[in-house]
Copies of this chain bind each other. A is one copy, B any other.
Amino acid sequence: MNLPSSYPASPRSRVRRLPKRGSQERALIYEILDAHFLCHIGYVIDGQPYVTPTGYWRHGDSLYWHGSAASRMLRSQAAGIPVCLTVTLLDGLVMARSGFHHSVNYRSVMAYGQARKIEQPDEKQAAVEAYIERLYPGRNAGLRPINRQELKATTVLGMAIEEASAKVRTGPPVDDDPDYDLPIWAGVIPVRQIVGAAVPDRRLKNGTARPAHLASYGEGAVLDEVLSRNAKAGG
């Protein structure tokens, strides 16, 4: 399937503020989506908005997430309601010479679509395994396989991305011209999500080997870099 290189700019997804930071470009949107696995999903029940942090993954032009079949969020979403799935990576604190120009460096995507429930057990199993694989390439092969009760207790939802927009801010503070003459400290404090040393479970069976996919999560690794590499390797 050939997809247009940009999502449509509709009233819903058009980036209104500071358009130089905004984009509907598909490649950039995928890049940001592939750099994390934790999103915030917004949905509406009886007019009340809910925002739930959820693990997600991208496959082609669709996004997937899952959870317990008993979850209120997933039961509501399974009915096919509109959702907004937002992914945000914090990259730095931007300190300017005036309070007004303080800012944040970040990459974010807001993606819109209709949640739909994956019903077929095969498709469900493939989806759940895709999530594990996206986080830990090669891991599924070594796991105790999922059983029927577990599959039944799991709800998998997906949505085709109808519209999406990215917003990115990078670089130094942008101050008012006269303010550059003031002796006020300004700059950027970078922030990254860093992986610590893996903690083996205390009940690990003697002689259990560390799997190859743990290597990419070495102490000090940058989480979004690991996830981006995994996404590229997975095609």
Contacts and interface: CB of A to CB of B under 8 A. Distances in A.
Interface string A83-116: 1111010101101011110101010101010000
A195 B189 contact: yes
Interface stretch (A23-31, A34-42, A57-65): A34-42
B144 A86 contact: no
B17 A70 contact: yes
B100 A154 contact: yes
Q: How many copies does the complex hold?
A: 2
Interface residues of A, number: 96
Contacts of A72: 16-17
A84 B48 CA distance: 8
B200 A187 contact: yes
Given A16-B71, A188-B198, A208 B183 contact: yes
A198 B187 contact: yes
Contacts of A211: 185
Interchain residue pairs A-B with the least CB separation, the first 5: A190-B196, A42-B51, A42-B49, A40-B40, A42-B42
B185 A210 contact: yes
B143 A49 contact: no
Contacts of A90: 38, 193
A180 to B, nearest CB: 5
Nearest to A151: B100
A183 B207 contact: yes
Nearest to A209: B185
A118 to B, nearest CB: 15
A132 B145 CA distance: 50
Nearest to A133: B99
Given A48-B82, A51-B110, A99-B143, 8 more contacts: A16-B71, A40-B51, A49-B49, A102-B132, A172-B203, A185-B211, A187-B200, A188-B199
A193 B195 contact: no
Contacts of A175: 203
Nearest to A68: B17
A97 B211 CA distance: 12
Contact of A190 (B93, B172, B184, B199): B199
